[in-house]
Amino acid sequence: MRPMTEQNMINAFGGESMAHMRYRLFARMAEAQHPNVARLWRAISEAELIHAGDHYRTLKYIDEGRVANSMAAFGPGDVAKNLGLSIGGETFEIEEMYPSYKQIAEMQGEKDALRSFDWSYQTEKKHLELFQKAQAAVSAGSDVQLGPVQVCSVCGYTLEGEAPDECPVCGAKKDKFTAYA
């Protein structure tokens, strides 16, 4: 893999890995008072694990120590603060990180990397929507009303409601979706 795309992939792996862990922790903190927001964070944390795994497999073996540089906020807050951090992270990925990583991968002819970045990019747009819905409920003083949340086990695509016959991002069949209900 060309060095620039390779470093971007390492950074993306780092960012997805930390998003996975941060959302798991946010879910635990929200469980008692906002169980549906907690369930949303659990579902989305699984999607971020799938993204991290896809990036990791795309990277192949690198025989040297490398540093991942991902933009991330640290330190816990209350449920509203943590939703704000989640929205900030997804927005950064949608507006800054993945569009530029995709463009470089495309310019460098790195097709596998481009696909991996794009699966994440498409998914993060849904994550942002779902977190915004949760934020609206929490700022109105309640838990979010939320149907089952479905996560595609191939690409991480996430949606609320019934699983589709075919994943709109990667084409996986309905039985590849995991429901968080």
Footprint on this chain of Fe ion (rule: CB under 5 A): 16, 48, 51, 120, 124, 127, 152, 154-155, 157, 167, 169-170, 172
Q: Taking the complex as a whole, how short is the minimal distance between the CB of residue 64 and Fe ion, in angstroms?
A: 26
Residue 155 CB contacts under 8 Å (≥ 6 apart), including other chains: 50, 54, 119, 122, 123, 167, 169, 170, 172
Q: Which CB sits closer to Fe ion, 27 or 170?
A: 170
In the complex with Fe ion, which residue's Cβ is closer, 33 or 69? 69
117 vs 157, which CB is nearer to Fe ion? 157
- Measuring CA to CA, how many Å separate 165 from each of 18, 137, 162, 177? 31, 30, 9, 10
Q: Can you tell me the distance from the alpha carbon of 78 to that of 110, in angstroms, rounded to the nearest whole number?
A: 41
Q: Which CB, 89 or 110, lies closer to Fe ion?
A: 89
How near is the Cβ of 169 to Fe ion at its closest, in Å?
Answer: 5
Least spacing, CB of residue 31 vs Fe ion, in Å: 20
Query: Which residue do the tokens 């990667």 mark?
Result: 170
Q: How far is the CB of 29 from Fe ion (least distance, A)?
A: 18
First to last CA, the chain: 40
